[in-house]
Structure 1
Amino acid sequence: MQLLLISPPHSVPDEALLVSEILGLGLARFHLRKPEWSRTQMLNYVAGIPARFHSRLVLHSHHSLVSELGLGGVHLPAAHRATWRTGPPRPGQTLSTSFHTLAEISRHRRRYDYVFLSPIFDSLSKQYYAAAFNLAEVAATLGQLQRRVGYRPPVIALGGVEAHQIAAVRRAGFAGAAVLGAVWQQPDPVAAFRALQSVVG
């Protein structure tokens, strides 16, 4: 089961150092999501992370930097899906997106390496962003996808995922979990990530 981490939309003190330490613990993919940031701000952030970790960085904006800097992948927010015209990622790079209904996962034709489904639980980082899914229905749909011949993207649970919910995420058939508030809203983000990592196994 995969464990992914998403950046907070705002800046956190020593954030690049914290991310570097978490990547050093074995984080497979770090999603860099800063909706209001300029290209220069994104460049400076990436420059603050050791080059050996760049292949694990996924950008939600300023996507041209992925190829320029040899980063790990592109994540397409919903608003960018229809206009994305770049060819398939380079070897080792990923293409992902976010969905908010089970129907979107079932009918979408573009081939993603993985997709987020949210919100699975009440969001920790967004006020009034409540859980939108029945986990039994999710399990049934994901089971059908797994039996389908052909394209079936790994689905990652997003939204309010905490350590005590990892077992429920696994039972529902998710390929992994993406976390944000469970790490960044804690006094020690590195320790919080390590605790989640120990549960995911």
Structure 2
Amino acid sequence: MIVITNPIAIENEINTIHALFECGLELLHVRKPNYSVGELRLFLSKVNPEFRSRLVLHQQHQVANEFGIHRIHFTESARAALDLESTNNNDGFIKSTSIHTMADFNQLDGCFEYAFLSPIYQSISKPDYKSDLDAVKAIAQRTNYNSKLVALGGISIENIAKTYQLGFNDVALLGSIWNSNQPIQNFKLCQKIVHLY
């Protein structure tokens, strides 16, 4: 199970991040699209060094080594601009990416460990962001088994089990953590369900 940061700073964010890791969070995607390099450095410097190897950077990849981060994520546009020949697996980074169609997932280069397919359900963090994706149909069209398929968008306690049953390899949480008054309790409830799969 993966958690993605809220795009903007929120109260008690670093304490919540530490608590999530202490509860067993495997990976935290740091997605702060409007942060400058300096703001991102400040944010990362507050994360306990023992947890930094479990961070995945969405932006400002150039600061990854400075913080002992070995995972980087590419948006669709960043992936399109990526020279896979020169970066493939020679840079030492574990890569992930975002996609919005199964056709794009099926054509992914093998250097991507996993990809977020979104939105699966109506978004929790963006109420106007509805899903047009037919997940059952999309899963039936899957031909890429080199990369893991991670469900994103509207993932909650109510639908995690269904999501795994559809055939997704993993889930990513955003709104169900950061839009909650009880983010840690929500995480633990989701974690219990995930452990059944």
Q: Same fold (TM over 0.5)?
A: yes
1:47-94 CA-partner distances (Å, limit 9, x unpaired): 111101000000110001112221141101112113334622665x42
**Equivalent residue pairs, number:** 192
1:161 has 2:159 as partner: no
Q: Which 4+ residue blocks in structure 1 deviate beyond 4 angstroms?
A: none
1:3-55 CA-partner distances (Å, limit 9, x unpaired): 10000111111201110110111111100101100111111111111101000
- Given that 1:156 and 1:177 are in contact with CA atoms closer than 8 Å, whether structure 2 keeps it comes out as yes
Q: CA deviation at 1:197?
A: 0.8
CA distance in 2, matches of 1:172, 1:133: 13
1:117 has 2:117 as partner: yes
Q: Please tell me the residue identity of whatever aligns with 1:182.
A: S
1:90-134 CA-partner distances (Å, limit 9, x unpaired): 65x420010001110112335201000000000011132111222
1:154-188 CA-partner distances (Å, limit 9, x unpaired): 01000000011111111111110001000111112
Q: Any gaps of 5 or more consecutive residues in structure 2?
A: none
1:47-66 equivalences in 2 (<5 Å):
47-66=45-64
> Structure 1 residues 72, 18: CA separation in 2 closer, same or farther (over 3 Å shift)?
farther
Q: Please tell me the residue identity of whatever aligns with 2:155.
A: V
Counterpart of 1:162 in 2: which secondary structure? coil
> Structure 1 residues 81, 145: CA separation in 2 closer, same or farther (over 3 Å shift)?
closer
CA distance in 1, matches of 2:29, 2:169: 17
> Structure 1 residues 89, 31: CA separation in 2 closer, same or farther (over 3 Å shift)?
farther
Q: Any gaps of 5 or more consecutive residues in structure 1?
A: 147-151
- Given that 1:54 and 1:70 are in contact with CA atoms closer than 8 Å, whether structure 2 keeps it comes out as yes
Aligned equivalent of 1:129: 129
CA distance in 2, matches of 1:156, 1:72: 19
- Given that 1:9 and 1:35 are in contact with CA atoms closer than 8 Å, whether structure 2 keeps it comes out as yes
CA distance in 2, matches of 1:20, 1:197: 16
> Structure 1 residues 145, 84: CA separation in 2 closer, same or farther (over 3 Å shift)?
closer
Counterpart of 2:159 in 1: which secondary structure? helix
CA distance in 1, matches of 2:24, 2:174: 17
Aligned equivalent of 2:65: 67
Q: Please tell me the residue identity of whatever aligns with 1:119.
A: P
Q: CA deviation at 1:200?
A: 0.8
Aligned equivalent of 2:167: 173
Aligned equivalent of 2:140: 140
Aligned equivalent of 1:83: 81
Q: Percent identity?
A: 29
